[in-house]
Copies of this chain bind each other. A is one copy, B any other.
Amino acid sequence: MRVTVWGENVHEQRDESVRALYPDGMHATIAGGLRALLDGADVRTATLQEPEHGLGGGVLAETDVLTWWGHAAHGEVADGLVARVCARVRNGMGLVALHSAHYSKVFRALMGTTCSLRWRNDGLRELVWTVAPGHPIAEGVPEVFAIPRHEMYGEFFDVPPPEELVFISSFAGGEVFRGGCCYTRGRGRVFYFSPGDQEYPVYHQAEVRRVIANAVRWAGPRGPVAPEPYPAQRSETGWFETR
């Protein structure tokens, strides 16, 4: 399994507080978690600032699962790349969208909705509850775990009803959030996971790393990613007879 961890890498450059938590960038920490937990996975990173945002030169074409974190610079992601990423998801690549990637161009285009939500950065406790204990993404994840300090994300979360809802979060202020959502788009699979905000050490936390690793494994394609999107296909009567 070839995994590319995409990081916007803006906060890490400009915010001392974020750099203190993620000295090599959030993407490096996320990638480290995957390398530790996914035997045999080939994990690399890519960032906004690289040419073609780090996804050119065959990188995207050699990616089986892409994780995406962005926040401050969604608008700077080139539309052409967004179209290529979405096409590859539909062709079978897995996508794991993390936290503020709910507002990324890629995720919004795949969902067809605003992906808006309620929020408040008060740094209080979030509890993540497993509501699909037999789901592959919940394997080895406790029935509930706490993120000691985090930003609140609350309902209404304007996404299509998830095909499978794996986690629901509650917050100290009383809000709830469907924070672990599975979707199918074409041959590809998409998982949205609401932790974690750049101001908190969420991606160092064992339970979060476990969920992301499980999600990458779940989202991975069963065979080769198709080279082209599904076409409109004219088929003669009995086209399947001689197969």
A interface list, Cβ under 8 A from B: 86, 90, 92, 103, 109-114, 116-120, 122, 125, 127, 129-134, 136, 138-140, 142-144, 146, 154-158, 160-161, 163-165, 168-171, 173-176, 178, 183-189, 221-223, 229-238, 240, 243
What's the minimum C-beta distance from A109 to chain B, rounded to whole angstroms? 6
Q: Are B230 and A114 in contact (CB under 8 A)?
A: yes
Q: Which residues of the other chain, B, contact A157 by a CB distance below 8 angstroms?
A: 131
Return the contact of A223 from the options B114, B139, B232 (Cβ within 8 A): B139
Q: Are B170 and A230 in contact (CB under 8 A)?
A: no
Q: Which residues of the other chain, B, contact A185 by a CB distance below 8 angstroms?
A: 112-113, 160
Q: Are A156 and B174 in contact (CB under 8 A)?
A: no
Known: A139-B223, A146-B240; 16 extra A-B contacts, CB below 8 A, are A90-B113, A109-B112, A112-B112, A114-B230, A119-B235, A120-B235, A120-B237, A125-B174, A127-B240, A131-B156, A131-B176, A133-B156, A143-B240, A144-B240, A154-B235, A158-B230
What's the minimum C-beta distance from A227 to chain B, rounded to whole angstroms? 14
Q: How far is the CA of A154 from the CA of B170 in the complex (A)?
A: 12
Q: Are B178 and A134 in contact (CB under 8 A)?
A: no
Q: How far is the CA of A234 from the CA of B142 in the complex (A)?
A: 18
Total copies of this chain within the assembly: 4
Q: How far is the CA of A142 from the CA of B221 in the complex (A)?
A: 16
Q: Are A131 and B155 in contact (CB under 8 A)?
A: yes
Q: Are A232 and B119 in contact (CB under 8 A)?
A: yes
Return the contact of A139 from the options B144, B155, B222, B235 (Cβ within 8 A): B222
Return the contact of A132 from the options B86, B129, B170, B184 (Cβ within 8 A): B184
Q: How far is the CA of A231 from the CA of B119 in the complex (A)?
A: 11
Q: How far is the CA of A185 from the CA of B108 in the complex (A)?
A: 12
Q: Are B161 and A132 in contact (CB under 8 A)?
A: yes
**Residue of B at shortest CB range from A92?**
B134
Q: Which residues of the other chain, B, contact A133 by a CB distance below 8 angstroms?
A: 156, 187
Q: How far is the CA of A115 from the CA of B1 in the complex (A)?
A: 28
Q: Are B178 and A131 in contact (CB under 8 A)?
A: yes
Can you pick out 26 interface pairs between chain A and chain B where the beta carbons lie within 8 Å of each other? A90-B114, A114-B229, A114-B230, A116-B230, A116-B231, A118-B234, A119-B235, A120-B237, A122-B237, A129-B176, A131-B155, A131-B156, A134-B188, A134-B189, A134-B222, A143-B156, A144-B243, A158-B186, A160-B185, A161-B165, A163-B163, A163-B164, A165-B165, A168-B176, A174-B238, A176-B176
